[in-house]
C-alpha cells in the first residue's frame, strides 16, 4: 500500500491533473476488482457453483443488463452538445441497443436460453434481490443527477473490467459448467472486445472535463460508489445461495 501511495504521489507531480485522476481511478478499480471477489475467484473460476447459483446469478444480472443502456443514455444527455465526447457516448449506446448488431440484453437472453435452459419469461419473472435493485438505483442516480464526468466515472468502474470478466466467465463456463454452444457464449465474446473501446469513451469524457481537485474527487466518489455497489451485487448472490460457507471450507 505504501508503495502504491508513493507511486501516485510521484505521478501527481509529473502528470497533468486530468491524467493524474485517471491514474487514481485505475488504481481504485484494481483495488476493488470484481475478479477478486470470492464469487468469481473462489467459486465461478474453480467450478464450485451449483447449477442453482449459476441460474440465480443469470437472472439477477439480466436485470442489470436490461437497465445498462439507460445509464449510458443519461450520460449522453448530460454531456454538452459541443463536447466531442458526446458522439462517443452515443456510439456506446448504439452498441448496447444493438443498432449495428444484436442488443446486449438479447445476447444475455441467448446465453440464458441456449446455455442454461432459462426462458425469457423466467428471467423477467424472477425475484429481484435488494442488492440488485441497489446497484441499478445507484448507477441510475449517479448518471442521471451527477455531472457527465461523474456518470462516466460510474460507468468506467464497470466497463473497465467487463472485458477481463467476460473472458474469465467464458473460460469457466466451458471448463466447468458444460456450456460450449457458440451462440450461448456470444455475449461474452462480444463484451471481451467492445468494452475495451467503451471504457475509452468514459476516460475521454473525464479527461476533457476534470480540471480541478474538487471535480476529481467527485468523479472518484462516483466511481467508488459504483464499484462498491457492484461488489455488493455479488454479495447478494452469495447470501441468497449460502455460498460463503463454500469459501470458508476451502
* Residue 241 to residue 250: CA distance in whole angstroms: 17
Counts of helices then strands in the chain (DSSP H, E): 12, 0
**Whether CATH 3.40.50.720 fits 21-26+46-249:** no
pTM equals 0.91
Burial class (CB in 10 A: 0-12, 13-18, 19+), 45: middle
Opening angle at CA 164, ends 14 and 236, nearest 5: 105
Q: Answer for the pair 234, 37: CB distance below 8 angstroms, yes or no.
A: yes
Task: Give the pLDDT of residue 145.
Answer: 98
pLDDT tens digits for 207-250? Answer: 989 988 899 999 999 999 999 999 999 999 999 999 999 887 76
Q: Answer for the pair 28, 227: CB distance below 8 angstroms, yes or no.
A: yes
pLDDT tens digits for 122-134? Answer: 999 999 999 999 9
* Residue 84 to residue 120: CA distance in whole angstroms: 38
- H/E stretch holding 39 reads none
Quick check: helix, strand or coil at residue 205?
helix
Task: Give the pLDDT of residue 142.
Answer: 98
The domain locations on the chain are 21-26+46-249
Report residues of the chain scoring pLDDT below 70. 1-17, 250
Amino acid at each position: 500500500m505504501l508503495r502504491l501511495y508513493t507511486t501516485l504521489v510521484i505521478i501527481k507531480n509529473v502528470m497533468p491533473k486530468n491524467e493524474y485522476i485517471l491514474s487514481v481511478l485505475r488504481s481504485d478499480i484494481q483495488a476493488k476488482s470484481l475478479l477478486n471477489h470470492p464469487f468469481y475467484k473462489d467459486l465461478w473460476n474453480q467450478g464450485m457453483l451449483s447449477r442453482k447459483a449459476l441460474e440465480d446469478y443469470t437472472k439477477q444480472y439480466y436485470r442489470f443488463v436490461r437497465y445498462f443502456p439507460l445509464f449510458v443514455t443519461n450520460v449522453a444527455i448530460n454531456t454538452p452538445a459541443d463536447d466531442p465526447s458526446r458522439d462517443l457516448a452515443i456510439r456506446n449506446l448504439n452498441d448496447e441497443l444493438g443498432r449495428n448488431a444484436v442488443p446486449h440484453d438479447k445476447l444475455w437472453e441467448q446465453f440464458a436460453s441456449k446455455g442454461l435452459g432459462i426462458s425469457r419469461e423466467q428471467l423477467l419473472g424472477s425475484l429481484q434481490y435488494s442488492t440488485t435493485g441497489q446497484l441499478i438505483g445507484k448507477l441510475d442516480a449517479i448518471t442521471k443527477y451527477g455531472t457527465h464526468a461523474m456518470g462516466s466515472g460510474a460507468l468506467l468502474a464497470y466497463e473497465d473490467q467487463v472485458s477481463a470478466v467476460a473472458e474469465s466467465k467464458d473460460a469457466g463456463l466451458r471448463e466447468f459448467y458444460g456450456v460450449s454452444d457458440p451462440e450461448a457464449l456470444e455475449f461474452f465474446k462480444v463484451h471481451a472486445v467492445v468494452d475495451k473501446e467503451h471504457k475509452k469513451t468514459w476516460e475521454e469524457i473525464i479527461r476533457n472535463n476534470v480540471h480541478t481537485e474538487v471535480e476529481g474527487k467527485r468523479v472518484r466518489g462516483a466511481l467508488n460508489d459504483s464499484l462498491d455497489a457492484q461488489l455488493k451485487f455479488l454479495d447478494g448472490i452469495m447470501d441468497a445461495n449460502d455460498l460463503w460457507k463454500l469459501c470458508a471450507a476451502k
